[in-house]
């Protein structure tokens, strides 16, 4: 996040990152501040299950990431 923030001239906490988890066996995306970390106790209290990152070979359709130099 530090590199992304530096590239656009902002603080890491102003960058939004998306993390992929499995909830009830299905993929779920959670957006958070770039400098935030997943707090396992709070995650479990909210979702009633342990945090499990979506594995690299998950078998779900791939998301595509695009880099944009303009927002217009």
For 33, other C-beta atoms within 10 Å of its C-beta total 14
Whole-model pTM above 0.85?
no
Contacts of 47 (CB under 8 A, 6+ apart): 23
Task: Take residue 64 and report the two structure tokens written for it.
Answer: 């595509």
Can you give the three-state secondary structure of 10-70, one letter per residue? CCHHHCEEEEEEEECCEEEEEEEECCCCCCHHHHHHHHCCCCCECCCCCCCCCCCCCCCCC
pLDDT in tens, 4-61: 888 889 888 888 888 889 889 888 888 889 889 999 999 999 999 999 998 877 777 6
């Amino acid at each position: 996040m530090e590199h992304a923030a530096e590239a656009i001239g902002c603080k890491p906490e102003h960058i939004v990152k998306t993390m992929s988890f499995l909830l009830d066996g299905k993929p779920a995306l959670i957006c958070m501040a770039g400098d935030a970390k997943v707090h396992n106790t709070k995650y479990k209290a909210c979702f009633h299950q342990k945090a499990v990152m979506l594995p690299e070979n998950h078998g779900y359709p791939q998301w595509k990431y695009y880099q944009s130099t303009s927002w217009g």
